[in-house]
Amino acid sequence: MPNSNSKVVLAPPPAEEQSGGEVKSSARKMIRVALISITLVCVWLTVRFPFQAESGLEYLLNGPNSVNPQTLHLRGEFVESNLGSTDDAGGGVTVRMIAEQYLFVPQCVVVPAGVPIRFRITSADVVHKLTISGTEDQIKAVPGYVVETRLQFPRAGVYEMPCHEFCGPGHYTMRSRLIAVPPEAFRNLSREARRDCALQ
């Protein structure tokens, strides 16, 4: 008969088993910390750079100037309402354009003369090249990326902007137009008038 007062003493697991368990639990902890960190970084990047990439994960994978060519018109920096000339918070002007077979959107861009303009251009399909007549300026439009450059138009005037990269059978019809107006006139233009050459 076993004595009811006797205590059952469990033998400690062998030293090898014990350390294996510790390794597993610390590995699990590390994976958890890594996943939480990646999620936090993704959330922060999405909030901090909402325009540059579709998501924080895309930013991490492809860099700050990546865009999804398939969803340009649907969400992000290049939605229809954001194209053309926009006033920056810092007082400058940014022009955003999409190149696609066989047109540039918008078809007309109005900018103030004599001030540096930030251009941000991307392509919805193949590589295009926006050139500005009467200048040496050329901007490549590359699908998946935003190409940014700064240009200045010293005098008011009309500049044709044809595509100079063969992009398919309709290439020769692909063009947009830029109108530089005095800064005071630019300030008085509505959002619509800034991308409609007929209103100039």
Nearer to Cu ion, 95 or 161 (CB): 161
- Residue 33: exposed, middle, or buried by beta-carbon count in 10 A (0-12, 13-18, 19+)? exposed
18 Cβ contact list (under 8 Å, min separation 6): 12
* C-alpha 39: how far from chain center: 20
Window of 61-69, 85-93, 122-130, 149-157 that interacts with Cu ion by CB under 5 A: 122-130
In whole angstroms, what is the distance from residue 59 CA to residue 187 CA?
34
In whole angstroms, what is the distance from residue 120 CA to residue 140 CA?
10
Nearer to Cu ion, 96 or 128 (CB): 128
Smallest separation, CB 28 to Cu ion (Å): 54
Does 167 participate in binding Cu ion (rule CB under 5 A)? Answer: yes
Window of 37-45, 62-70, 76-84, 167-175 that interacts with Cu ion by CB under 5 A: 167-175
Q: How many residues bind Cu ion (CB under 5 A)?
A: 5
Window of 43-51, 90-98, 170-178, 181-189 that interacts with Cu ion by CB under 5 A: 170-178
**Binding track, positions 66-105, relative to Cu ion; x by CB under 5 A:** ----------------------------------------
**Binding track, positions 126-165, relative to Cu ion; x by CB under 5 A:** --x----------------------------------x--
Q: How many CB atoms lie within 10 A of CB 182?
A: 12
Q: Which helix (H) or strand (E) holds 111?
A: strand 108-112
In whole angstroms, what is the distance from residue 195 CA to residue 77 CA?
17
Phi then psi for residue 6, to 5 deg, are -70, 140
In whole angstroms, what is the distance from residue 79 CA to residue 106 CA?
11
Nearer to Cu ion, 78 or 104 (CB): 104
Q: Which of 161, 174, 179, 180 binds Cu ion (CB under 5 A)?
A: 174
Could you list the residues that contact Cu ion (CB under 5 A)? 128, 163, 167, 171, 174
